[in-house]
């Protein structure tokens, strides 16, 4: 049975409206441009990307997809926001980046069509934007090969994350457009752990992403109270 209905139309509309600004490093996507080198470096701490088949789930305008392709991976980026995918395709063409292709398909439908097809699956800043994140987690497990890696990043749900990620980022510092995040969709680490362990993925390491609004610098830390990243692996 297809689970392609696991999408919030308002979320698609929100990102489609901003699609033309994906590659502007001073736009609403400035935080993603800033953390992209951190994301790439963190992934490469666990597995080489060169020569690997990688799936980028919820790829948006292709920031991480392109970076992984430049690192030597064969990348497939998937998303359900048509305009964002067009931006991603056009940018890769203009930048001359080979090794990356994009498709408008849900992760659940792709998992039915091509199970165990990828060495690495990334699902970054995406889980907090779908109605059923556990469905996405299961599909990521199904898509990765035995021994392969799956990387998640999302937002913790607690008073501090509400203060920093919504009030601070969207209303005080204006780092993100208002309405980017919905607090009720934030995911506690214990909840995400239940989802990926139930699907059959094993936890390897979690890390936090911290931000200093004065220096505008991001760095990886042990503080997972707001943004956190998780590295998991599918057993052989």
Predicted confidence (pLDDT) at residue 111 exceeds the cutoff of 80? yes
Percent of the chain with pLDDT over 90: 77
Return mean pLDDT, the chain: 93
Average of pLDDT values for 45-52?
A: 97
Residue whose pair of structure tokens reads 């490469």 in the numeric block: 44
Nearest to 210 by CA among 193, 230, 194, 229: 229
Residue whose pair of structure tokens reads 């760095």 in the numeric block: 219
Q: What is the pLDDT of residues 192-220, one digit of tens each?
A: 999 999 999 999 999 999 988 889 899 99
Nearest to 232 by CA among 151, 135, 111, 125: 151
Residue whose pair of structure tokens reads 């699609």 in the numeric block: 19
Domains of the chain by range and CATH?
9-153+187-207+226-233 (3.40.50.150)
Predicted confidence (pLDDT) at residue 225 exceeds the cutoff of 90? yes
pLDDT given at position 4: 60
CA distance 189 to 192: 5
Percent of the chain with pLDDT over 70: 97
pLDDT given at position 1: 36
Average of pLDDT values for 37-61?
A: 97
Provide the whole-model pTM.
0.93
The conformational region for residue 200 under phi > 0 = left, psi -120 to 50 = alpha, else beta, is left
Q: Which residue has the higher pLDDT, 156 or 173?
A: 156
């Amino acid at each position: 049975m297809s689970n392609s209905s696991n999408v919030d139309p308002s979320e698609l509309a929100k990102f489609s409206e901003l699609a033309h600004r994906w590659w502007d490093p001073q736009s609403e996507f400035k935080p993603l441009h800033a953390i992209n080198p951190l994301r790439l470096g963190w992934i490469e701490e666990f597995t080489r990307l060169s020569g690997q088949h990688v799936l980028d789930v919820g790829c948006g305008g292709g920031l991480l997809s392109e970076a992984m392709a430049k690192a030597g991976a064969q990348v497939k980026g998937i998303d359900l926001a048509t305009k964002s995918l067009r931006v991603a395709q056009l940018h890769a063409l203009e930048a001359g980046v080979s090794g990356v292709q994009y498709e408008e398909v849900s992760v659940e439908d792709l998992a039915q069509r091509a199970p165990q097809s990828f060495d690495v699956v990334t699902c970054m800043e995406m889980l907090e934007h779908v109605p059923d994140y556990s469905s996405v987690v299961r599909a990521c497990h199904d898509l990765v090969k035995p021994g392969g890696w799956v990387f998640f990043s999302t937002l913790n749900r607690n008073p501090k994350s509400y203060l920093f990620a919504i009030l601070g980022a969207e209303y005080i510092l204006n780092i993100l457009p208002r309405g980017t995040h919905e607090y009720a969709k934030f995911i506690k680490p214990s909840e995400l752990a239940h989802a990926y362990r139930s699907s059959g993925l094993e936890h390897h390491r979690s890390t936090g992403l911290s931000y200093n609004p004065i220096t505008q610098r991001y760095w990886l830390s042990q503080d997972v109270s707001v943004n956190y990243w998780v590295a998991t692996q599918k057993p052989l």
